[in-house]
């Protein structure tokens, strides 16, 4: 099997490397920035291409891992591709391919990726969707070599998964960043709360989040809440976030 990767960002990089590790040949890499395509291609012994017109139209699979807003534009450039085309987005519907190509699907890894952070791909849920059984079979053949957790999930449910992932991952990470701001402003190091973050994450591996909620809001410690708000009085945006989250937690009591 030969696979073409469209993109060179976090998702594209990890998928390309994972394919390479199980001896699925990535033949070409394309990116908006050719130097990035060269960099990724060099890591997996593939060919970097600068123009989508150079794509190997006889490859078995083309995986599109670009920004959500660019997927439709890329698909329009791949009308001559003969194999299966799939995007890797959590929020873009399968319909983005409609009337633009024949065999298409979704190959969505439910994980957060950073280029310089290795992940165990075998534990990453791979959410698949396709427009026909033959295409789904191709995607499954690849997915099952990469992961022990392969699921068929339609576009509507995938959107819900992506929304939940934004709450659980993106928003949570932003809250870490806000915590770091508070610490730095008071000459404290982020390292001091890393064990707390680890323990919180570990708890929800075996319990539902609502059952292990702690803190002043769930205890209704109003004096503590007021003191915290006073510390944020000069940072109105952060104060609003604190109040919104505290009120939301109170409602779960």
Quick: pLDDT tens for 125-145: 999 999 999 999 999 999 999
Domain boundary among 110, 131, 153: 153
pLDDT band for position 89 (cuts 50, 70, 90): very high
Handedness of CA 42, 50, 71, 134 (dihedral sign): negative
User: Two tokens at 219?
Assistant: 């205890």
Claim to verify: residue 47 and residue 136 sit in the same structural domain? yes
Mean pLDDT of all residues in 35-53 = 97
pLDDT the model gives residue 156: 96
- The span from the CA of 28 to the CA of 2, in Å, is 9
Q: Would you call 147 helix, strand, or coil by DSSP?
A: coil
What backbone phi and psi angles, to 5 degrees, belong to 87? -100, 165
- Look-up: residue for tokens 């310089």? 116
pLDDT the model gives residue 197: 97
- Host domain of residue 20: 2-153
pLDDT band for position 50 (cuts 50, 70, 90): very high
Claim to verify: residue 149 and residue 95 sit in the same structural domain? yes
Domain boundary among 130, 153, 176: 153
CATH of the domain at 191: 1.10.1040.20
pLDDT > 90? residue 196: yes
In whole numbers, what is the pLDDT of the chain averaged over residues? 96
Claim to verify: residue 40 and residue 112 sit in the same structural domain? yes
pLDDT the model gives residue 149: 97
Claim to verify: residue 187 and residue 239 sit in the same structural domain? yes
pLDDT > 90? residue 43: yes
Claim to verify: residue 168 and residue 209 sit in the same structural domain? yes
Q: Structurally, how many domains does the chain consist of?
A: 2
Claim to verify: residue 146 and residue 163 sit in the same structural domain? no
Claim to verify: residue 98 and residue 179 sit in the same structural domain? no
Mean pLDDT of all residues in 28-39 = 97
Claim to verify: residue 26 and residue 130 sit in the same structural domain? yes
Claim to verify: residue 22 and residue 118 sit in the same structural domain? yes
pLDDT band for position 200 (cuts 50, 70, 90): very high
- The span from the CA of 65 to the CA of 144, in Å, is 19
pLDDT the model gives residue 253: 79
Claim to verify: residue 114 and residue 177 sit in the same structural domain? no
CATH of the domain at 24: 3.40.50.720
Claim to verify: residue 131 and residue 228 sit in the same structural domain? no
pLDDT band for position 207 (cuts 50, 70, 90): very high
Domain boundary among 109, 125, 153: 153
Mean pLDDT of all residues in 197-217 = 96
Q: Work out the angle at residue 46's Cα, subtended by the Cα atoms of residues 150 and 14, and round it to the nearest 5 degrees.
A: 35
Chain centroid, CA 75 distance in Å: 20
Claim to verify: residue 176 and residue 67 sit in the same structural domain? no
Q: Is 26 exposed, middle or buried (0-12, 13-18, 19+ CB in 10 A)?
A: buried
25: left (phi > 0), else alpha (psi -120 to 50), else beta? beta
């Amino acid at each position: 099997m030969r696979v073409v990767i469209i993109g060179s960002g976090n998702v594209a990089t990890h998928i390309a490397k994972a394919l390479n590790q199980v001896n699925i040949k990535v033949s070409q890499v394309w990116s908006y920035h050719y130097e990035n395509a060269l960099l990724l291609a060099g890591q997996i012994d593939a060919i970097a291409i600068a123009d989508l017109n150079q794509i190997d139209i006889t490859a078995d699979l083309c995986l599109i891992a670009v920004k959500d807003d660019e997927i439709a534009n890329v698909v329009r450039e791949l009308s001559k591709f003969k194999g299966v085309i799939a995007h890797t987005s959590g929020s873009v519907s399968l319909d983005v391919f409609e009337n633009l190509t024949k065999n298409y699907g979704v190959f969505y890894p439910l994980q957060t990726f950073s280029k310089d952070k290795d992940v165990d791909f075998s534990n990453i849920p791979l959410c698949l969707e396709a427009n026909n059984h033959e295409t789904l079979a191709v995607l499954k053949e690849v997915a099952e070599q990469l992961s022990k957790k392969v699921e068929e999930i339609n576009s509507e449910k995938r959107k819900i998964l992506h929304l939940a992932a934004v709450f659980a991952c993106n928003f949570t990470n932003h809250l870490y960043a806000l915590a770091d701001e508070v610490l730095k402003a008071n000459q404290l190091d982020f390292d001091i709360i890393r064990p707390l973050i680890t323990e919180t994450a570990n708890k929800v591996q075996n319990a539902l989040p609502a059952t292990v909620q702690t803190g002043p809001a769930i205890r209704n410690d109003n004096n503590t809440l007021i003191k915290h708000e006073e510390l944020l009085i000069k940072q109105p945006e952060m104060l609003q976030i604190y109040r919104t989250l505290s009120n939301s937690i109170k409602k779960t009591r």
